[in-house]
Amino acid sequence: MRTPEHKHSIASAGLPEATPLVDARLREQGIDPDRLSVLKVGTIYRFRAAPPWLQRLLAGLALFAVHGYLSRVDIGVSSLLLAGLQITSGFVILMAACEVLVNATERLAARFHWNHYTAGTVAEIISTIPELVVIAFVIPISPSMAFMIALITIYNNALVFSLYSFFLPKDIHGKFLMPIPITEAGTQILIGGGAMGLILGLVLLTFKASGQAKSSFSAIDLGFVSLILLLIFAVYLYKLTTSYAKEEAAVRENLDMSASDIEKRLDIVYENIRPTRLFAIAALFLIGALGAFFGGHQVSEFAAFMLSDTQFNPILTALILALFAGMSEYVILWQSHCKQEYGIALTNAFGGISQVMFLVFPFTLLCISLYQAIVGTVHPDLPLDFSVAHVLLLLFLFPTFYTLSSLLEEDHTLGILDTVIMSCIFLFLIVLLATHGGSAT
């Protein structure tokens, strides 16, 4: 018969406070407790005040109102100051929108007691909505800019992943072990992403070098590539969630967990989240969607100003917009790190690579394809040329993903040399693009 202490130990298996006895039992069955990814989600606010996302949203809307007022009155305000207010308000609103969308997803998961791996996967996908909105707004302004933003975001997130991994607390062997499902599926998705980038880049390069008549993407080309990438992403999600489910089933079986033990584990995962009615959850999703809309609109207007009024380098403009579009994910990473939820933070950082490559990028291609089919060649950016910038952005995916996949195979032991290699790859790409990848339009 189980004692209360034993029952509590089983309920905590795989969590940071698991007892050595439970850890030893798991190891005897070939399960590494250090790789188990059951972590608490949600945040308890210490003070009875407005949640941080609401404070950020109100601050962003205030800046939005100030920008709107100054742009309508003739008091000699500098256009650069207006652009600064525009991108700042958009950035703050996007941050708040991303946070409230993730918060709503966590509350929905807690209400229906989703497994932690399902809740985490859905939250990561939801967190990309602000990026998708930004890209959707940028496409009518410059499809080429939207194309570059999606790809540059991949490199930004790969750099963030590498830098963050270096500063993670390591064990006595100098490792920070990722969950096995992430290591296995993650390595495969990186290999696939690098191969797709290399194939597309070589095809573009071959057409340019051989003097073929085809020198741009048609709407069918973009739609076909986007569907291929989305198919890979769907299979990746299936493998990821099923692998997590098998891992959890193995833990439950080897610890002989009862239904009450399983329920208690889920209660521990969601203990930071208060019970929430469906109406309140729907209201949070609506607030997040509206925030993403207003924030994305501000960022796109900033892009139009940089391209048309200042004639700024389009590559550097895309880099700036990619940083702002992905900033909400970096904030979530930082918040998870501050709560010492390193597994959640690291998984979010890795998801920023895989999801942008196989969700955000194909979404961008699909939207450009539909836009091109509707407006035809009326837009000066359409059809998308096989430009030097596009070729380099696609070709550099292979060395970037190859380096990351090699590091994952080594149990995620990123040292100073690994971090410097990734940083130099990113810097080399940006310098090449900024100097030879295009000129201001």
277-324 pLDDT, tens digit each: 999 999 999 999 898 888 888 888 888 887 776 667 777 888 888 887
The residues, ordered by sequence, that sit 6+ positions from 285 with a Cβ below 8 Å of its Cβ are 101, 104
The residues, ordered by sequence, that sit 6+ positions from 321 with a Cβ below 8 Å of its Cβ are 134, 138, 145, 149, 299, 302, 303
Phi, psi of 15 (to 5 degrees): -90, 165
Does the pLDDT at position 110 exceed 50? yes
* Confidence class for position 180, pLDDT limits 50, 70, 90: confident
> How many helices and strands in the chain, by DSSP H and E?
17, 0
Quote the CA–CA distance of 364 and 370 in Å, as a whole number.
10
Question: Would you state the structure tokens that stand for residue 296, as one six-digit string?
Answer: 């994305």
* CA contacts within 13 A on the Cβ side of 63: 22
SS3 content of the chain, % helix, strand, coil (to 5): 75, 0, 25
Among the ranges given (27-31, 124-128, 278-282, 304-308), the one the predictor scored with the smallest mean pLDDT: 27-31
Read off the amino acid at residue 297.
H
Whole-prediction pTM? 0.84
Quote the CA–CA distance of 47 and 61 in Å, as a whole number.
23
Higher pLDDT, 138 or 412: 138
Burial letters 6-34, b for 16+ CB under 10 A, else e: eebbbbbbbbeebeeebbebbeeeebebe
The residues, ordered by sequence, that sit 6+ positions from 231 with a Cβ below 8 Å of its Cβ are none
Residues 408, 183 contacting (CB under 8 angstroms): yes
- Cβ-in-10-Å burial (0-12, 13-18, 19+) of 265 comes to buried
Does the pLDDT at position 171 exceed 70? no
* CA contacts within 13 A on the Cβ side of 100: 29
380-428: pLDDT as tens digits? 888 888 888 888 889 989 988 888 887 776 655 566 777 788 788 878 8
Quote the CA–CA distance of 239 and 247 in Å, as a whole number.
12
Dihedral of alpha carbons 291, 293, 294, 295, sign: positive
As a whole number, the mean pLDDT across the chain is 80
Quote the CA–CA distance of 292 and 324 in Å, as a whole number.
12
Chain position carrying tokens 């499902």 = 181
Q: What angle do CA 15, 21, 24 make, to 5 degrees?
A: 85
Phi, psi of 216 (to 5 degrees): -155, 165
Nearest CA to 392 among 436, 441, 439? 436
Q: How far is CA 131 from CA 146, 150, 220, in A?
A: 11, 9, 24
Domain ranges of the chain: 37-436
